[in-house]
Structure 1
């Protein structure tokens, strides 16, 4: 069984609340830091920017994370072959 990270658990809780509570979803989209603070007690530092967007049937968002070379030492990096990741390999 896979272990979920704290970040994944929080994201799951926020998404579930947004699906179930239209008022929270509207607040999350308008002012995500305040919405998280009020609903979950999560206080993000001032230097952190947080943007919430809502996908639809026709709108999708691809998030490009920070470059690993900026945050992970080279000796600790792993390589993932795209074919293995997407199941397209032989």
Structure 2
């Protein structure tokens, strides 16, 4: 089963490819874009930065180490 956060990221990318206005909103205000397009309100404590790769410029994102997150459960997986 796919993680909910990966599903939302995938849906956002697909919509950005198909809808130039959504892509611009996603680049300018990603949380509002996700809320408007998918009805998902990301918590205030979650920060989202959108960047666009090109054919010659890639981004490598290193997620947080699960061991550094401590024993508390995070809502991030559920919403993003």
Of 49, 61, 67, the match for 1:69: 67
Q: Which runs of 4+ in 1 moved over 6 A?
A: none
What TM-score, normalized to structure 2?
0.80
Aligned length: 71
Q: Is the partner of 1:42 in helix, strand or coil? A: coil
Of 7, 10, 32, the match for 2:8: 10
For residues 29 and 15 of structure 2, the distance between their equivalents in structure 1, rounded to whole angstroms, comes to: 15
Query: How far did 1:56 drift?
Result: 0.2
* Structure 2, unaligned runs of 5 or more: 72-80
Query: How far did 1:15 drift?
Result: 0.8
* Structure 1, unaligned runs of 5 or more: 74-90
Looking at both structures, which has the greater relative contact order when contacts are Cα pairs under 8 Å and sequence separation is at least 6? 2
After the TM superposition, which residues 1-90 of structure 1 pair with which residues of structure 2 at under 5 Å, given as runs?
Answer: 3-71=1-69
What TM-score, normalized to structure 1?
0.72
Once structures 1 and 2 are overlaid, which stretch shifts more, 60-69 or 32-41? 60-69
Larger Rg: 1
1:78 aligns with none
